[in-house]
Structure 1
């Protein structure tokens, strides 16, 4: 849920920090006080379109920051991992700065990100719905996804099988397409691969050859220094009055000492061992000097071979091993191109076989969806009945085409409704009545919010155009949605305000000739006054206060029944 929101220099807001809780939070206040500006700030925080006009006059930038708490298993975790963003103790901090030039700087948990990344992650945290902001529910291209979300548990096993087959199907399709494309392109491809393959074969490369040649070149390049070092070392050990002579003299003296006193036996033995070890070293150095021979032609040969290998590396891989792997890969493709007709025939048969299996899974998926659509229809009719739209007919329409299979199956789905008896069913996106739209959206939200995993839902004046018992029904429905998630709601309806778990009063204040917005959490008495103001419009009377108290009592009874 959204726990804390900080806004600085945004529109008429100079500096504002608001804490939010679980359940239903209602924001009320006079028109123009800044209620919608707060929602605009949240919308920008989760990736909405920014503009320099949002920056408070006279300031360099607007700053918006939000603290969210999410539970393990929330869809946001996978998205954060995908973008390499760490989550500590279920905490997510979104931040967005907008400069006077209109440029945005976005961060999640301190990491700089793009606006598209912010939007993708933000969409899983907050769902903002306004009177004319249809989002997924009013977008017919998203209806299939919503139905699948509703029936996720039943569809999951079939979906897994279908998606695996679909991947194989598209891969086989791509192979077939590559073989049946333009003949001239195929001929050019065959010539190119033949040349490349022959060039690599002619080079007669050996595994790790480049590394071995580099080592040998290094030895030959340092021949003089190596020879001089070995010769100097040998001379220091072997010769009159050199290392071994002196060590031999030490060995003789220590043997004499050990024969006179056993206490020196260990030292004598160590000196003897050292003498014989160094004598062996001197012999090996002598052999090395005998066999060391400088071959400038070999060095030239190595340089030429390395140049040839480097030329191949620039074309086919970073190492000899990669070049050989590339050769094996194009050899397989060459075989396919040279025997194209045989492979085309084989792939066509394979594609038909896969499609047959794919259609079985697609039909099973479609069958499960249609059963889920019946349950969804019943659920929505029940929700609409509670919102006094019992005569409304809702229908999930399928357009299934076995010849037009996609990653989602063979179904296209669209929601249709008829709000008046005798009227034909029309696409949900064609609803124009404000009151009907509000109730339809609430009915759908109350069902889908349980399946979408969105942390917070925001309703921005979705109660416009309703009154009386419908207003009370909408208030109760918004409250019921908040039971499963956090809901923030801007409202001018006293019934909705009465159902709130937290009531925030938004007002404008003038300091030093500048307008700013303030937010005040209302306790019981202040809440009564504000609801009374919403009822009467201007003058608050004892009667409107009494009515406000009755609304609060009624709201508490409704909540107690859950």
Structure 2
């Protein structure tokens, strides 16, 4: 959940820090106090595009930072962190966004600089923002297939993963087939280039790890005098009269002569003897290696020339000899494929046909699983809509396919894509006798708010986001519908943290935490303040929301009744 939000020099906000709790938090206040500005800040934190207009007048930059705490190590944000190399410790994620007055945007995740696109990847797994005026993911039919798969993920995921593997392999084969079969002239030019490259590499007669070995030999020859002198000095320090090995021998003999009188001396005599023979062996190794050294200036010139040739090839074919040889193997294979193009095309066609059939069968299984999931989803949505006084509304999941232009050997001529061959649309009709239509083509503002809440209630736990934010989604409703919306929002807060900007006292009464947004004037500048209300303050604020003007005894009484109703509802749920 979003635990802490810090905003500085953003629009009319000077500097605020807000602590959020679990459950339902509502934000209320007069129009223009800065409620939606706070949501704008969270949106920027989630990766939305910013503007210099957000930077508070007279300041150099706007800064927003949010701390998110996770309640499970299985949260998908950990996979996102691993993918982008960002360490997530103690189940905490910190998103940071800076927008400068010059228009630059600086993004960080857990202190690491990231691009806006990467910040957005983190944001979409942590925050889901819904407002009355935005096109949300639930409204976009392109996302409906993923939502349906999430709804029954336990049954669908395994089949979908299998299909994805087959589809990726099929796409790779098709790409290779297209490359081999199209544009004869380009293929001829490609063959000429590859044959030139293979000829150049074969003439070089490269040996695996050759560059490493040559560099080592060059270093030895270039530093021959230092190496030789160092070995001689080490050997001379050990061998000869009054030198190291003689003193070690004396020490060894002294211990050997007296070991029978003391157990400690006996133990150390054995250790000393072992060390003496090791040093003696080392001394002879130094002498023998020194005898093998020969300085050959001609060999040094040969190495320099060979390394120059290898470095020239590295610029064209790889960073090491081993990489060049690996590339050489690849182009040999490609030359063979182009030279014997027809036989390879035939083999690829057979393989494409075989994988296509396997992919189709897996896609068909996916389709059958989705059909069953769609029936369950339909029942759940109808139940949620009934609770929002849309009992006469009808919800359906439409399955569609597209014809393929490719030749098929299986019965159905369907076009397969990354999710199978299904194209899925959520349809709804809010009144009897009206045809089912796509979500973004139906319903009034008040109806749309309820439909969206019903969908959010179903999908909140499946989407895995830690915080769901509603920005005035209750616009255009009142009375019993307002109470139903308040209850539905509270139900969602039992699955995920909910932050809600509202003008409805019914929603505010249902809150676990109530924050009041106030607009102040300090030093002749407008600023925003956030106050967490006590029970008494909450009652007064509800009364103000009911009357809209002066707080009356009747309004206070009504506010208390709303709070009692909310408390009763919470104990029942």
TM exceeding 0.5? yes
Which of 555, 563, 573 is the equivalent residue of 1:552?
563
1:204 matched to 2:210: no
**Structure with max Cα Rg:** 1
1:3 matched to 2:13: no
Aligned ranges 1:324-335 → 2 under 5 Å: 324-335=325-336
Q: Deviation at 1:57? A: 2.3
Find the aligned partners of 1:34 and 1:489 in 2 and give their Cα distance.
14
Which of 394, 406, 419 is the equivalent residue of 2:417?
406
Find the aligned partners of 1:524 and 1:29 in 2 and give their Cα distance.
16
- Equivalent residue, structure 2, for 1:47: 47
Q: Deviation at 1:64? A: 1.7
SS in 2 for 1:207: coil
Contact 1:44–1:96 (CA under 8 A) maintained in structure 2? yes
- Equivalent residue, structure 2, for 1:240: none
Go from structure 1 to structure 2 and tell me whether the alpha carbon gap of 1:314 and 1:65 turns closer, same or farther (over 3 Å shift): closer
SS in 2 for 1:337: helix
SS in 1 for 2:322: helix
Alignment coverage as a number of residue pairs: 538
- Equivalent residue, structure 1, for 2:409: none
Find the aligned partners of 2:290 and 2:81 in 1 and give their Cα distance.
65
SS in 2 for 1:124: helix
Go from structure 1 to structure 2 and tell me whether the alpha carbon gap of 1:491 and 1:214 turns closer, same or farther (over 3 Å shift): closer
Q: Deviation at 1:98? A: 2.0
SS in 1 for 2:435: coil
Q: Which runs of 5+ in 2 are unaligned?
A: 259-268, 403-412
Find the aligned partners of 2:469 and 2:231 in 1 and give their Cα distance.
82
Find the aligned partners of 1:8 and 1:287 in 2 and give their Cα distance.
71
Which of 538, 551, 570 is the equivalent residue of 1:527?
538
1:502 matched to 2:513: yes
Question: Root-mean-square deviation (CA), in Å?
Answer: 3.2
Q: Deviation at 1:366? A: 0.7
Q: Deviation at 1:245? A: 8.3
Contact 2:228–2:290 (CA under 8 A) maintained in structure 1? no
Go from structure 1 to structure 2 and tell me whether the alpha carbon gap of 1:320 and 1:400 turns closer, same or farther (over 3 Å shift): same
**Larger deviation, residues 431-440 vs 534-543:** 534-543
Find the aligned partners of 2:145 and 2:548 in 1 and give their Cα distance.
44
Aligned ranges 1:434-473 → 2 under 5 Å: 434-473=445-484
Deviations 1:339-361 (A, max 9, x none): 11111101101110110111000
Find the aligned partners of 2:398 and 2:524 in 1 and give their Cα distance.
58
Go from structure 1 to structure 2 and tell me whether the alpha carbon gap of 1:512 and 1:360 turns closer, same or farther (over 3 Å shift): same
SS in 1 for 2:433: coil
Go from structure 1 to structure 2 and tell me whether the alpha carbon gap of 1:381 and 1:189 turns closer, same or farther (over 3 Å shift): same
Find the aligned partners of 2:229 and 2:561 in 1 and give their Cα distance.
106
Q: Deviation at 1:204? A: 2.6
Find the aligned partners of 1:226 and 1:421 in 2 and give their Cα distance.
96
Contact 1:528–1:548 (CA under 8 A) maintained in structure 2? yes
Q: TM-score, normalized by length of structure 2?
A: 0.86
**Larger deviation, residues 211-220 vs 107-116:** 211-220
SS in 2 for 1:92: strand
Find the aligned partners of 2:111 and 2:80 in 1 and give their Cα distance.
16
Q: TM-score, normalized by length of structure 1?
A: 0.87
Which of 504, 508, 511 is the equivalent residue of 2:522?
511
Q: Deviation at 1:287? A: 10
Deviations 1:400-421 (A, max 9, x none): 2453211111111111111111
Contact 1:26–1:500 (CA under 8 A) maintained in structure 2? yes
Go from structure 1 to structure 2 and tell me whether the alpha carbon gap of 1:105 and 1:315 turns closer, same or farther (over 3 Å shift): closer
Contact 1:438–1:463 (CA under 8 A) maintained in structure 2? yes
- Equivalent residue, structure 1, for 2:354: 353
**Larger deviation, residues 160-169 vs 368-377:** 160-169
1:433 matched to 2:434: no
**Larger deviation, residues 64-73 vs 340-349:** 64-73
Deviations 1:116-139 (A, max 9, x none): 222211111111111111310111
Go from structure 1 to structure 2 and tell me whether the alpha carbon gap of 1:292 and 1:479 turns closer, same or farther (over 3 Å shift): closer
- Equivalent residue, structure 1, for 2:265: none
Q: Deviation at 1:502? A: 1.0
Find the aligned partners of 1:285 and 1:540 in 2 and give their Cα distance.
103
Find the aligned partners of 1:284 and 1:529 in 2 and give their Cα distance.
96
SS in 1 for 2:473: coil
SS in 1 for 2:31: coil
1:82 matched to 2:90: no
Find the aligned partners of 2:153 and 2:285 in 1 and give their Cα distance.
80
Q: Deviation at 1:294? A: 6.1
